[in-house]
Structure 1
């Protein structure tokens, strides 16, 4: 089930609560960060080219430990880069550097964890199962519910998630704010 479209769809699924937690642009920002992070664990596909003996697909980058550390680092980088300017972009929320760090770290963690869950549902088909709780629990976890490259499932799932996000964006945005993001 889970190719790039499937991972993005899972990132969208896991970030749905953002529409109920924040307003307007903050929700969109959280969802965008989560969707980008939903692809993060597959960085091992690039790292294996640099370190073929040390890295393998579904290895360390597919662990809760790795995605937690990467999320904290990503949150710190975003807070450092944009902490002073964020209030200009997200008008409906009040973000200081610390709250931006927490916000972006949780968004990165949400997306990255969605990737791990998706791989746990489908990995044993054509790839090695993941060990998401390594080094604390050294055993593969998988459910093998979905075929890894089912194009019609991936396309259907991402379509449903996009429509659901658009509907929630419309329903959770106050009427007087609905059209302020559109160009004039």
Structure 2
């Protein structure tokens, strides 16, 4: 495992492709969500006080992160879509439930998966190794190349990740035009701009 700084840095790196998918405003929200949820697998530190779970156990598996991500995405799509559409910062009236589901599920999965990926290179130093592919592959995956509080790894990783996002944010055009952009231009037809996920019709 790495410390919290390293986990945030890894989550930022994992979230970097959001700039090509969600557009600028959506990417900021997606990245923030991924960073906030990056510590999801460490919920076992809380659960073990009440349940027979161990640190680096089931919560540090891709299966657990995927299941929780789908459940949270489904909840957000069903109960939060209307609130997102009405929010003044989003400025959109056409975000559909499937887009909210994709946003929530992908954001949480990226955050949780980045945590697992960051723990694997250092897990055996002060904590048990991980079996991230349980139940398909039940044996521990041990790399053991980074110590927990190594400042070069933790602070350096965060610095690199922030730099990557600053570079991506500086650019104004991105390679993909998708239906998942939130309030962002996705193309131009006959000189008129098409704005994804934004209803600009007169009411």
Q: TM-score category by the smaller chain?
A: 0.7 to 0.9
Q: Larger % of helix: which?
A: 1
Q: Larger % of strand: which?
A: 2
1:71 corresponds, among 59, 69, 72, to 69
Query: What's 2:27 paired with?
Result: 27
Query: What's 1:116 paired with?
Result: 116
- In structure 2, what is the Cα distance between the partners aligned to 1:34 and 1:126? 25
Please, which runs of 5 or more residues in structure 2 have no aligned partner? 175-183, 185-203
Structure with higher Rg: it is 2
TM-score when normalising by structure 2: 0.78
Is 1:132 the counterpart of 2:141 in the alignment?
A: no
Query: What's 2:168 paired with?
Result: 168
Once the two structures are superposed, residues 8-45 of structure 1 have per-residue CA deviations (whole angstroms, 9 ceiling, x without a partner) of 11100100011111212111111111112211000101
- In structure 2, what is the Cα distance between the partners aligned to 1:41 and 1:58? 8
Per the TM alignment, residue 151 of structure 1 is displaced from its structure 2 partner at its CA by: 2.7
Aligned positions, number: 173
Per the TM alignment, residue 99 of structure 1 is displaced from its structure 2 partner at its CA by: 1.4
Matches within 5 A, 1:1-184: 2-51=2-51, 54-87=52-85, 88=87, 89-91=89-91, 95-172=95-172
Per the TM alignment, residue 91 of structure 1 is displaced from its structure 2 partner at its CA by: 4.1
Per the TM alignment, residue 94 of structure 1 is displaced from its structure 2 partner at its CA by: 5.0
Please, which runs of 5 or more residues in structure 1 have no aligned partner? 178-184
Secondary structure at the counterpart of residue 145 of structure 1: coil
- In structure 2, what is the Cα distance between the partners aligned to 1:169 and 1:46? 36
- In structure 1, what is the Cα distance between the partners aligned to 2:169 and 2:133? 34
Secondary structure at the counterpart of residue 125 of structure 1: coil
Per the TM alignment, residue 76 of structure 1 is displaced from its structure 2 partner at its CA by: 1.9
